[in-house]
Structure 1
Amino acid sequence: MKTASLTQNIEYHESKPTIKVLMETETGKEIRIAFKTGQVMKKHQTPFPIVVEIFEGQIDFGVDDKILALAKGDLVALDGDVPHDLTAVKDSIVRLSLNKADSSQRVEDVANKA
């Protein structure tokens, strides 16, 4: 058994989203992304399917030339190779579920390009 918390030890970086791997299992990875208002993860994609949960706050989620206004409790599932971007409308906590074969370093690299 493994446990983790989306709400404990949250750190916000002043200029870019903060990435924290919360848990890794045999099938996937759970990552917390902490956004300050206005922070962006520029357009990117992954070769694997993902699920994004807005745990707290509000995110403008860009996909297919549309912007989805996502708020606390909303979920989005994307197939691999779908370009998308995120912009924090409010301070936000996002839970990202990755495939085991995907890299948390890739997510960190996207955040660092903010």
Structure 2
Amino acid sequence: MIIQDVVKALENSAAPVVKVLTKGAAGKVLVLGFKKGMVLKEHQTGVNTRLVVIDGKINYFSTKGTLTMNKFDELDIPVNEPHSVEALEDSICFLIQV
């Protein structure tokens, strides 16, 4: 019940909640939960990553500009690209890393 755990943890959190949904030799899937207005500060990933919005609406910020992502939108995040995320609504996202 990882996704439900993220939603419950958000009730009392001042920051985005991140939990591992599954992990294996080939990669892992993370669940990210946001309340409206929460920001995941600028960071980079060292592995191939796909961001998928499962529910809600977010802004993805990178050196290329701002991309507004809605429910079921997906984006491949370039390796070593500085980026951040802001929730425009309560949101749940998956990060798929391989």
Q: Taking structure 2 as the reference length, what is the TM-score of the superposition?
A: 0.88
RMSD over aligned Cα atoms: 1.5
For residues 56-104 of structure 1, the C-alpha deviation after alignment (integer angstroms, 9 at most, x for no partner) is: 00000001241101000000002210111000000000100123xxxxx
The corresponding residue for 2:4 is 8
What is residue 89 of structure 2 aligned with on the other side?
Answer: 90
In structure 1, the residue matched to 2:73 is 74
Letter in 2 for 1:23: T
Aligned to 1:56: 55
Which aligned runs of 4 or more in structure 1 are off by greater than 2 angstroms? 5-11
Which structure carries more strand by proportion?
A: 2
Deviations 1:7-61 (A, max 9, x none): 4333314310001101012201000000001000111101212100000000000
Change (3 A) 1:6 1:67: farther
* TM, length-normalised to structure 1: 0.76
Structure 2 residue runs of 5 or longer lacking an equivalent are none
- Partners of 1:34 and 1:45 in 2: how far apart? 18
Residue type of the alignment partner of 2:77? L
SS of 1:8 mapped into structure 2: helix
> Which segments of 5 or more consecutive residues in structure 1 lack a partner in the other structure?
100-114
Equivalent pairs, count: 95
Identity %: 28
